[in-house]
Amino acid sequence: MRRILLIITLLSATFAAFADDDIFRRPAEVHLVVDSANVFTTEQFAALTAKLDSFERATTVQIQIYTTYYLYGYDIVDFAQRLGEGWGVGQEGADNGIVIVCKPKTMFVKGEVTIQVGYGIEPFMPDAVCKQIIDFEMIPEFREEHYYSGIDRAVDLCMQFASDENAAKEYRAKKEKTKKIVEGLAIGLVFVPCVLLGIFLIVFACRGGFESGTVSSGRGSSGGSSRRSSRSSSSSHSYGGGHFGGGGACGSW
């Protein structure tokens, strides 16, 4: 038993070392879309790559998409931060990188997703906004296995918020208002039936008492394009050396 545990420990250490040396090592070329989980069709992959590349050219902000079934022993937040830091997503000095990592759900393991932002993006996309994007835009789509739709929605919002702090504030306020309305409706759906049930029981009890009295006095009563093999996009740009400090959020389904 001790020997088996030793072998498992050594294998885990080797696996983690492989991840450190390979997965988090900066590629020679920019790969803004890495679909290791193979959740995008060829058309979806091309469209997402073109969108991210065009946005980077216009703003210098790099948004990194990474799908995978394997996190090499790391939790998804740590994996995304290491990926962003190791690859240098974003520009050095500006730290304007965004990393989105998605681990699709399987029959045996829950799905997970995280958005991690560089230091320079944190004022525009605070943790609460990242969490709302995940909860309201991504996970509902992922539950239906619409991975492209969920990620594409998140990308559009990240593009909007990365250059407009007020847009993020308005989005957050709108989602908070929606959440309160939904919670209010949920409470109402529980409260109103309870009140009606209470009224019914009171009326029934009173009527039962009346009929009982009547009986005692002597009167009777009536009783989803085809998928591709795993691949990553490439660009003529290069990773700039952006840094990440823990800003962002995660979720699961």
- CATH code: domain of residue 28: 3.10.310.50
Would 30 be classed as within a structural domain? yes
- Residue 80, domain extent: 15-164+229-252
- The whole-number pLDDT of residue 67 equals 98
Residue 233, pLDDT above cutoff 70 = no
Per-residue confidence (pLDDT) for residue 199, from 0 to 100 = 72
Q: What does the pLDDT average to over 136-161?
A: 97
Q: What is the pLDDT of residue 153?
A: 97
Model confidence pTM above 0.95: no
Q: Which two tokens stand for residue 234?
A: 């490439």
Mean pLDDT value of segment 164-182:
65
Residue 213: both structure tokens together: 């009295």
Would you say residue 44 lies in a domain? yes
Which range is least confidently modeled, 12-26, 95-109, 186-200, 239-253? Answer: 186-200
What local confidence, expressed as pLDDT, does residue 5 receive? 41
Find the mean pLDDT for residues 18-27: 77
Question: Could you say which DSSP state residue 39 is in?
Answer: -
- In terms of pLDDT, which residue wins out, 5 or 236? 236
The verdict on residue 191 lying in a domain is: no
Instruction: Report the amino acid identity of residue 219.
Output: R
Number of domains within the chain: 1
Q: Which residues contact 207 (CB under 8 A, 6 or more apart)?
A: none
Residue type, position 28, single letter: A
Residue 212 maps to a domain: no
Q: Is residue 10 part of a domain?
A: no
The confidence score (pLDDT) of residue 243 equals: 87
Instruction: Please say if the pLDDT value at position 204 is more than 60.
Output: no
Q: What is the pLDDT of residue 53?
A: 97
Range from 8-17, 74-83, 105-114, 182-191 carrying the lowest mean pLDDT: 8-17
Average pLDDT over residues 34-39: 98
pLDDT at 206 over 80: no
Is pLDDT of 126 > 90? yes
Q: What are phi and psi of 57, to 5 degrees?
A: -65, -35
Strands (E) in 69-166, as ranges, are 97-103, 112-118
pLDDT over threshold 90, residue 164: no
Kindly state whether residue 117 falls inside one of the protein's structural domains. yes
Q: Give the pLDDT of residue 205.
A: 61
The answer to whether position 95 is within a domain reads yes
Q: Highest-confidence range of 7-16, 132-141, 220-229, by mean pLDDT?
A: 132-141
Q: Which residues contact 203 (CB under 8 A, 6 or more apart)?
A: none
Distances (CA, A) of 109 to 22, 40, 130, 160: 24, 20, 23, 33
- Which tens digit of pLDDT belongs to each residue from 64-115? 999 999 999 999 999 999 999 999 999 999 999 999 999 999 999 999 999 9
